[in-house]
């Protein structure tokens, strides 16, 4: 199963037989005061820096979330997308729970974007899926519904099935759906990661669908988060996850090493190329004045 995303010129294929796709998470002001302030003040230099940095570190898609309380997201998201388009030609992942914001973003997004996200909640299925269909976009489906996030892998699988069926009814094919089995923090429930991993396994075996994870969520509240995130992502890729909303500067080497270990990197070319680029970036960053 292949999900094809397109930017202005770049095409990215998500699939179990492809290298794992990193969706850069950093254009998201949640918990990031500096970005929230930059978006509020209309200071696009900082956003530009985050875009360039993530692309340099190997992000193949960029997540765009402009949700700052009190800010008019509908008018800001097109401006941010135009900025990203002027810097990079990679596909975009529009991250909002507000259908009006998604529609405003989809109107200016290049190629074939990814919508983040729909869920099994009735109202969201009704409002988001038609927008996705009209634009010919792909969509992330979260395994939660009107009752919340199910506790068991089997129940999360059932929500995924509902999303896939609703989408099919209005003409969105399963190739254009990426299921996100949701990661909660292991800091508050030590079984949280296992439940997500088991859901990944069921999704792969039952539907063969592409699977995304917001891998950084797993480590909230814990020390040494990148290590926890990297360990989790490795396990998830082995189980069948095919893309992740993540920080490529922190997780890139782990992701390319996992591709190599799983036989998805002929002659280690992807890993070696990534390693050399990362070495150069680190040297540049070390030279920069603080
Ligand atoms: N699934 C889907 N979409 C998502 C998520 C998901 N979108 C939002 C989120 N989860 C993924 N994005 C982030 C972005 C940042 C962080 C975690 C997830 C994060 N930020 C650090 C913090 O808050 O402490 C700040 C790090 C920094 O400053 O660089 O951890 O699960 N479909």
Q: What is the pLDDT of residues 256-266, one digit of tens each?
A: 999 999 999 99
Q: Rounded to an integer, what distance in angstroms lies between the CA atom of residue 66 and that of residue 82?
A: 14
117 preceded by a cis bond (ω within 30 of 0): yes
Dist. CA 257–CA 261, nearest whole Å? 6
Q: Percent of the chain having pLDDT more than 90? A: 95
Residue 76 CB: number of other CB atoms within 10 A?
19
* Alpha-carbon span 171 to 165, nearest angstrom: 10
Distance 31 CA to ligand 1 centre (A): 9
pLDDT > 90? residue 92: yes
Cβ(203)–Cβ(182) below 8 Å: no
| CATH topology for the 3-287 domain | TIM Barrel (3.20.20)
Domain ranges of the chain: 3-287
Does ligand 1 have an atom closer than 6 angstroms to the CB of 91? no
User: Candidates 32, 49, 177, 250: which one to mutate for ligand 1, based on the most atoms within 8 Å of Cβ?
Assistant: 32
Kindly state the average pLDDT of the residues 18-30.
Answer: 97
Give me the residues paired with residue 113 across strands. Answer: none
- According to the model, what pLDDT value does residue 285 have? 87
| Percent of the residues in the chain that have a pLDDT greater than 70, as a whole number | 100
- pTM check: above 0.85: yes
Q: What is the mean pLDDT of residues 211-227?
A: 93
| In contact, 244 and 214? CB cutoff 8 Å | yes
Tell whether the model's pLDDT for residue 24 goes beyond 70: yes
22, 29, 31, 183, best to mutate for ligand 1 pocket (most atoms within 8 Å of CB): 31
What confidence score (pLDDT) does residue 290 get?
63
- Reported as a single tens digit per residue, the pLDDT across 42-81 is 999 999 999 999 999 999 999 999 999 999 999 999 999 9
In the reported structure, the alpha carbon of residue 24 is separated from the centroid of ligand 1 by a whole-number distance in angstroms of 10
Q: What is the mean pLDDT of residues 212-224?
A: 93
pLDDT in the model for residue 288: 79
pLDDT tens-digit series, residues 146-197: 999 999 999 999 999 999 999 999 999 999 999 999 999 998 899 999 999 9
| Whole-number pLDDT of residue 113 | 98
Residue 216 pLDDT? 87
Quote the mean pLDDT of the chain.
Answer: 96
Ligand 1 pocket check for 84: Cβ under 6 Å? no
pLDDT for residue 232? 97
The DSSP bridge partners found for residue 148 are 145
């Amino acid at each position: 199963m292949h999900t094809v995303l397109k930017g202005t010129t770049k095409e990215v294929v998500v699939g179990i037989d492809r290298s794992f796709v990193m969706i850069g998470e950093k254009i998201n002001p949640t918990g990031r005061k500096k970005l929230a302030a930059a978006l509020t003040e209309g200071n696009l230099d900082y956003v530009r820096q985050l875009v360039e940095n993530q692309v340099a570190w190997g992000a193949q898609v960029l997540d765009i979330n402009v949700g700052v309380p009190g800010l008019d997201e509908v008018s800001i998201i097109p401006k941010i997308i135009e900025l990203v388009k002027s810097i990079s030609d990679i596909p975009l992942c529009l991250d909002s729970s507000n259908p009006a914001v998604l529609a405003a973003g989809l109107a200016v997004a290049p190629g074939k974007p990814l919508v983040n996200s729909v869920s099994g909640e009735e109202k969201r299925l009704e409002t988001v899926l038609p927008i996705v269909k009209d634009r010919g976009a792909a969509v992330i489906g979260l395994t939660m519904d009107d009752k919340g996030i199910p506790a068991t892998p089997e129940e999360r699988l059932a929500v995924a099935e509902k999303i896939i069926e609703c989408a099919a009814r209005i003409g969105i094919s399963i190739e254009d759906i990426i299921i996100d089995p949701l990661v909660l923090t292991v800091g508050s429930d030590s079984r949280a990661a296992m439940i997500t991993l088991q859901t990944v396994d069921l999704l792969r075996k039952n539907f063969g669908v592409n699977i995304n994870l917001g891998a950084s969520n797993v480590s909230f509240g814990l020390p040494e988060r990148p290590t926890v995130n990297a360990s989790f992502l490795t396990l998830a890729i082995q189980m069948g996850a095919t893309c992740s909303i993540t920080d490529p500067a922190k997780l890139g080497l782990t992701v390319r090493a996992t591709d190599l270990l799983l036989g998805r990197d002929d002659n280690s070319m992807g890993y070696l190329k990534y390693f050399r680029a990362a070495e150069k970036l680190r040297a540049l960053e070390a030279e920069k004045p603080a």
